[in-house]
Amino acid sequence: MLHGPLIIVSGPSGSGKSTVVARLLRECRDPPLRASISATTRLKREGEVDNVHYHFWPRERFEQALAEHAFLEWACVVGNYYGTLRAEVEPWRERGYGVVLVIDVQGAAQVRAICPDAVSIFLHAPSWEELERRLRDRKTDDEATIQRRLAAAHREVERSGEYEHRIVNDDIGVTVATLCEIIRKAASKER
């Protein structure tokens, strides 16, 4: 049976994951790609749309889905649940789509244990100073949250060696081209 590749993209908040993946979905056509929409209990940020950017769920609904084993992976990050629904991944891979998961290091480890064929990519910001600047420029978090995100970034970077591929996201065009090539190679192995 033809399966599309499963692509894990991780990196600390501010590494550019969302921007890179949005452009990847527009520019990389072989194989066809789709981003999995994660469920989360965190509040929507300005401009985010439910069921487009995330499935924004109350904690009770998330915990019910956990009890029903509806997640491929899940984690609690900065006080909020995040998870990848099996229904966002398995049917699409069976149809030959490459499915991109934008998940943290905890979730990535869970997925790699269940799906050893997954391709894992860790995005780094060009520097710690740039990472902090990006977090502050969002203007969505208070100082305490920024400090939690920076502390989490240090822990995540320490685990970047668990990934097959590590990319410094200092030029988005180069980053996206590199990701497309990695995905094309993975897709050719699935065929």
The CA distance from 44 to 88, in Å, is 20
DSSP string covering 61-124: HHHHHHHTT-EEEEEEETTEEEEEEGGGTHHHHHTT-EEEEE--HHHHHHHHHH-TT-EEEEEE
Predicted pLDDT of residue 2: 53
Give the model's confidence band at 1: pLDDT under 50 very low, under 70 low, under 90 confident, else very high. very low
pLDDT recorded at residue 133 = 87
pLDDT at site 18: 87
Cα(47)–Cα(38) distance, rounded to whole angstroms? 17
Q: What is the pLDDT of residue 190?
A: 59
Q: What is the mean pLDDT of the chain?
A: 91
In which band, very low, low, confident or very high, does the pLDDT at 191 lie, cut at 50, 70 and 90? low
Tokens standing for residue 190: 């699935």
CATH superfamily of 6-190: P-loop containing nucleotide triphosphate hydrolases (3.40.50.300)
Contact 162, 109 (CB under 8 A): yes
Sheet holding 119-124, edge to edge: 33-35, 98-102, 6-10, 119-124, 165-168
> Percentage of the chain with pLDDT > 90?
67
Kindly state the average pLDDT of the residues 34-57. Answer: 93
pTM for this entry: 0.87
Residue 189's pLDDT is: 76
Over residues 75-124, the pLDDT tens digits come to: 887 789 999 999 999 999 999 999 999 988 988 999 999 999 999 999 99
Question: Is residue 163 within 8 Å of 122, Cβ to Cβ?
Answer: yes
User: If you average pLDDT over residues 159-166, what whole number do you get?
Assistant: 96
Tokens of 97: 């789509």
Q: Where are the domains of the chain?
A: 6-190
**pLDDT attached to residue 21:** 94
Question: For residues 40 and 84, what is the distance between their CA atoms, to the nearest angstrom?
Answer: 9
* Average confidence (pLDDT) over 141-165: 91
